[in-house]
Structure 1
Amino acid sequence: MKAIIGGTGVDHISGFQGERRQIDTPYGSAEVFVGTGKDAWLAFLPRHGSGHSVPPHLINYRANISALKGLGVDEVITIYAVGSVSEALRPEEVGTIADFADLSGGGRAHTFFTGDEQGVVHVGMDRAFDPELTDALHAHEPNLKDAGVYVCTNGPRLETPSEIRMFRTLGFDVVGMTAATEVALAREAGLKIASLAYSINWAAGVGPDEVTFITDDTIARLKDSMTRLCMDVLEERLVALP
């Protein structure tokens, strides 16, 4: 089974046939829309909840990933709204994330390996994003950008101009509040993952004005194109892979 995880602006997939299920896991319950009929091969998980009611620092990331693993998901594409720190990804553009840095502060439940019955395991992150799955996205959409390095903050507040200047100095390209936690847990669970970022604003101090966001109509257009791309890539791999 394949999965898509969406967040801000991507809390549903147009035309997707699925039923809402509340899946219990050892870490709590997770809301997942499990495909039916022609879409029975796909699961969709809105990380902030279908009503976008859960802020990034309070998302139950472990329950979400555990629920997908329990459904038999082996590959997942995640979608993140980000702010642009460098010119690698400009507002209204979409690209794949190459790497991440976690500056969320460590207060989240961000690992399955807590030293009890799960033991102590150190999962490598030198290739956090699956190269084949990422290449498949670019093969389907040649205009897809390389979004570069994603830096993860805790949120829910936006960043200060001084923080963004620091991020630029450190070589980060886009900023968000969810990817590092989610991607690391997916890798711990053995899921292959690729991630799309779409920019909804210039980060604080980068643009000429105060932080302003792209329009809802633009977000809706990008959502439809990104989810269609994800579904096409995952369905093709479902057929092609043994």
Structure 2
Amino acid sequence: MANMTLGIIGGTGLGEALGALGAGQEHRLETPFGPTSGPIVTTEVGGVPVALLSRHGPGHALNPSRVPYRANIWALKSLGVTHILASGAVGSLREELQPRQLVIPDQVIDKTFRRAGTFFDDLAVHVEFAAPFCNGLRSALVKASTGLPTRVHQGGTYVCMEGPQFSTRAESELHRSWGASLIGMTVMPEARLAREAEICYALVALPTDYDCWRPHPAHVDQAKLIEEILGNVKVATQNAIELIRRAIPHVVAAAEKPCPCQSALALGIWTDRSLVSTETRRQLEPILGKYLR
């Protein structure tokens, strides 16, 4: 794919560590949806154009419900981003998905309710979302995982809850009964908006603990537990950065092949084009422009 640019969105811990991928130029874009989480840094990694964004902003100031997901994806699209590798800390709902390992999920259950979930408030647009993560990018991550010094699990369902509080024990057991693998707070509506923007998107999930379905050892107090979780975040973050580094050449190879993510809107716009206002056309030019000219 010509003019491919890779976006990298970091979650807990990874935002600060993304600087290890290289220094570059800061962009503070004005968007129709307000400011982004923070500056987007464009650089090159191994000759590949990359745009870096810390999801929670400098100093992790934004809780999951306050992340400006629409502004973030709009801005990345405006900068020419065609593919996104995202990461985020999660709780594990399965014994075999151990803290410090990595998971490349293939499904999502969306339980959020406070977040704007579409770019298309003023027209009817329906995109296919049966497979919420790009198969080409997931394959690139799987290929890159060979030889990584931790186990990388392929597949799994991510339950995205609103937060910012964690689950009750009953909720955690309910999510397990659904067959879900992970619980987190940030993948939605990020993944859906990426699809609306026709950007390929995949997630590297970082299990930090076993949520609350698995009782903690009685001898471990709360302070020690938090210390352990933060240690898990640090190690999993290092593993995720290494996986993303290794995945970049595979992403470039995948980008040479057509992907349905890149034409998600082709059959999704139901509103009569003549009824789309000039203001909407202006605001959504980076996303809808090619379909409204």
TM-score relative to the length of structure 1: 0.90
State how 1:1-242 maps to structure 2 within 5 Å: 1-12=5-16, 13=18, 14-30=20-36, 31=38, 32-35=40-43, 41-105=49-113, 107-114=114-121, 116=122, 119-142=123-146, 143-146=151-154, 148-209=156-217, 212-213=225-226, 214-238=228-252, 241-242=255-256
SS in 2 for 1:129: coil
Distance, in Å, in 1 between the alignment partners of 2:27 and 2:230 is 28
Quick one: which amino acid aligns to residue 113 of structure 1? F
- Write the deviation string for residues 41-94 of structure 1: whole angstroms up to 9, x where unpaired: 001111100211000011110000001000100100110100011235221211
Task: Name whichever of 163-172 and 218-227 sits farther off.
Answer: 218-227
Distance, in Å, in 2 between the alignment partners of 1:79 and 1:186 is 14
Indicate if the aligned counterparts of 1:34 and 1:42 stay in contact, CA closer than 8 A. yes
Q: CA deviation at 1:182?
A: 0.7
Indicate if the aligned counterparts of 2:42 and 2:51 stay in contact, CA closer than 8 A. yes
Identity value in percent: 31
TM-score relative to the length of structure 2: 0.75
Q: Which one has the bigger strand percentage?
A: 1
Task: Name whichever of 217-226 and 54-63 sits farther off.
Answer: 217-226
Distance, in Å, in 1 between the alignment partners of 2:254 and 2:134 is 17
Indicate if the aligned counterparts of 2:109 and 2:157 stay in contact, CA closer than 8 A. yes
Quick one: which amino acid aligns to residue 246 of structure 2? D
| Cα 1:171/1:237, change in 2 over 3 Å | closer
Distance, in Å, in 1 between the alignment partners of 2:54 and 2:29 is 13
- Write the deviation string for residues 162-197 of structure 1: whole angstroms up to 9, x where unpaired: 110111111111100011211011111101011111
Quick one: which amino acid aligns to residue 57 of structure 1? S
| Cα 1:9/1:97, change in 2 over 3 Å | same
Distance, in Å, in 2 between the alignment partners of 1:193 and 1:223 is 19
- The residue number in structure 1 matching 2:271 is none
| Cα 1:28/1:40, change in 2 over 3 Å | farther
Indicate if the aligned counterparts of 1:18 and 1:39 stay in contact, CA closer than 8 A. no
Which blocks of at least 5 consecutive residues in structure 1 are unaligned? none
SS in 1 for 2:156: strand
- Write the deviation string for residues 184-240 of structure 1: whole angstroms up to 9, x where unpaired: 111111010111111111111323448835354443332223123213323443367
Quick one: which amino acid aligns to residue 127 of structure 1? A
Indicate if the aligned counterparts of 2:6 and 2:50 stay in contact, CA closer than 8 A. yes
Distance, in Å, in 2 between the alignment partners of 1:6 and 1:148 is 20
- Write the deviation string for residues 99-154 of structure 1: whole angstroms up to 9, x where unpaired: 0000112x21111111x1xx111111111111121111111113411251000111
| Cα 1:147/1:161, change in 2 over 3 Å | farther
SS in 2 for 1:112: coil
Distance, in Å, in 2 between the alignment partners of 1:154 and 1:220 is 24
Distance, in Å, in 2 between the alignment partners of 1:161 and 1:215 is 18
Distance, in Å, in 1 between the alignment partners of 2:251 and 2:155 is 23
Which blocks of at least 5 consecutive residues in structure 2 are unaligned? 257-293
Quick one: which amino acid aligns to residue 192 of structure 1? C
SS in 2 for 1:207: coil
Distance, in Å, in 2 between the alignment partners of 1:43 and 1:112 is 21
SS in 1 for 2:204: strand
Distance, in Å, in 2 between the alignment partners of 1:33 and 1:218 is 27
Distance, in Å, in 2 between the alignment partners of 1:233 and 1:37 is 11
Distance, in Å, in 1 between the alignment partners of 2:156 and 2:45 is 37
Indicate if the aligned counterparts of 2:86 and 2:202 stay in contact, CA closer than 8 A. yes
Quick one: which amino acid aligns to residue 136 of structure 2? E
